[in-house]
Structure 1
Amino acid sequence: MNFVLFLAVLMFLESDAIKLLKLANPIDLTWSFTSNSFYTKNTHPFLLTKQTSRLSEDGTWYAQNEFCTGEHVGTHFNAPYHRNRQGYKVHEIPLKHLIAHGIKVDLRLQTKRLKNKSVLLPQHLEKWVRTHGPIQQYTVLLVQFHWSQYYNNKTLYLGAKNDYELSFPGISKSAAEWIVKTKKIVGVGVDTAAVDKGIYNSEISKKILLDNNVYVLENLNIPAKFPDDNFALYVLPMKIFDGTGAPLRIIAVPEENVTKGVIIAVVPWYTHVVVLTISCLWFYVQVFLRN
């Protein structure tokens, strides 16, 4: 009787875990590309240069656009080659760096207090590790300042009325150094115009990351309610040959419904074999050795 109950609980956990995993919905972290897409100085903005649409005499519809844009416009991908002569170009980024485990450091409360002076520091990263455990190999780190709420207001988003007096949150030099020392983080994304704190002249943190082949994602649209862990990222830049950067589509597949109670659904396949073997041994002991 005990064995039957044990198997029933095991089957419930397994089936319920799979059911819960199916409830997870993909989330788009990309801003749509329009003529209002954010761009920096010396960069060509996104423009639809030709728009064609017509209804043919036979009733069929035809539409086609042509566009022109710089690599570093709107939600975009910075390849290491952007600031590292020996770094990966866009078309060279390994797929295992683009389809990767995701984590997020939440700095919303700090940013609410400090506004554009909010900065990611090593202690924030260390706190994340203490809370969630070691960082996995091939991880993409997202830093959420909740600055994307200003994206449609360029003055608030940049903290200035021009491209020369910028002021918005960013990643400190010491945090960038901490990130590259892990040897496990392959990409870093922010919901601000740049990873450095409103300074385009130096871009110290960006250079540290790119010099170590850690790519950078900028102008992300991270929703307020977004998990800190247990999600995958599909980082999909336009595959531009020799590109220093590219327009980006980035999709998150959260797994926030996965709990310790249903962990069986996300462990490797061989764990199921081990559980089954133990169950059989338990049954053997109960039925044969006790009689």
Structure 2
Amino acid sequence: MSLRVQRIQGLTHTLNSAFPIWPGFAPIQVTNVRSFEKDGFFANVWQAPEHHGTHVDAPLHFGKGAWSADQIPDETLVCPAVVIHVHERAAGDPDTQVTVEDLRAWERQHGRIPEGAAVLMHSGWEERARDITAFRNMDGTGTMHFPGFSKEAAEFLLKERSINGIGVDTLSLDHGASKDFAVHFSVLPANKWGIENLANLAKIPPAGATLFVGLPKVQGASGGTARILAVW
């Protein structure tokens, strides 16, 4: 892969304890343990779940025996970025999903999805990220409502195309109302990774960018908070 970089765009939210997280999990806590005044240098200790903020789901997260974060091949973490825009639908239908037709429409305009691509859903949901209630969009029954990939789209990408992973700007690869996590159970056990809570997808081109996934190499991890960059 040969890169001539003109633009670099960060796709990562700043992480703090107020950032929305999946119900039932505690957010990151940062504790200062060394200070300039007392110790001459500065250091913190983090206590955090693997799946908070902009983060990667390693295949192990839903695939027993699949790759943990440290086992994901480095070469799969640098790949072509394909951006699928569903933000106009999502504005009126929070349960909208990326469909096979969305993928085919992208291909009609830009050509076949590149081998080893990361296919990224842009729903505009990042605009809600400072409000955990709006980001989760939970109804009175406790069901969340936000966009994600459809099972059919995920299976198309796995069976008909050759991808490295998928990503979303919401809390989950599956749409919020999903009860079976069909997309997670399709994509991750196939040793493909997912990225959740992406930012700034509207600022990168739908085709032609390269994604860099800065995933910590923690042994046995099911994922981890990551720094994601797009360059083109």
Q: Which has the larger radius of gyration?
A: 1
What's the TM-score once normalised by structure 1's chain length? 0.74
Q: Moved runs in structure 1, 4+ residues, more than 3 A?
A: 161-164
> In 2, distance between residues paired with 1:163 and 1:193?
18
Deviations 1:8-42 (A, max 9, x none): xxxxxxxxxx9xx55x2211101112111222234
* 1:49 Cα deviation after fit: 2.5
1:51 offset after TM fit, Å? 4.4
What's the CA shift for 1:94? 0.8
Match of 2:14 in 1: 32
- Partners of 2:189 and 2:68 lie apart in 1 by 12
Equivalent residue, structure 1, for 2:78: 99
**Higher helix residue share:** 1
* TM score, norm. by length of structure 2: 0.92
* Alpha-carbon contact 1:121-1:174 (below 8 Å) kept: yes
Q: What number of residue pairs does the alignment pair up? A: 230
Letter in 2 for 1:131: Q
CA distance in 1, matches of 2:36, 2:60: 42
Task: Tell me by how many angstroms 1:205 deviates.
Answer: 1.1
Residue matched to 1:50: 32
After the TM superposition, which residues 1-291 of structure 1 pair with which residues of structure 2 at under 5 Å, given as runs? 21-22=4-5, 24-55=6-37, 61-114=40-93, 116-160=94-138, 164-199=142-177, 201-254=179-232
RMSD: 2.1
Which amino acid in 1 is paired with 2:128? Y
Q: Deviations over 1:124-151 (max 9, x none)?
A: 0011111111122211111100110001
CA contact (8 A) 2:173 2:183 kept: yes
Distance apart, 1:199 and its partner CA: 3.5
Higher relative contact order (CA 8 A, sep 6+): 2
Show structure 2 runs of 5+ residues with no match: none
Aligned mates of 1:181, 1:204 — CA distance in 2? 15
Q: Provide the identity percentage.
A: 26
For the structure 1 residues 48 and 212, does the alpha-carbon distance in structure 2 shift closer, same or farther, using more than 3 Å as the test? same
Query: In the TM superposition, what is the alpha-carbon distance from 1:161 to its structure 2 partner?
Result: 7.0
Give 1:169 shift: 1.0
2:68–2:222 CA contact under 8 A, matched in 1: yes
| Structure 2 counterpart of 1:195, one-letter code | L
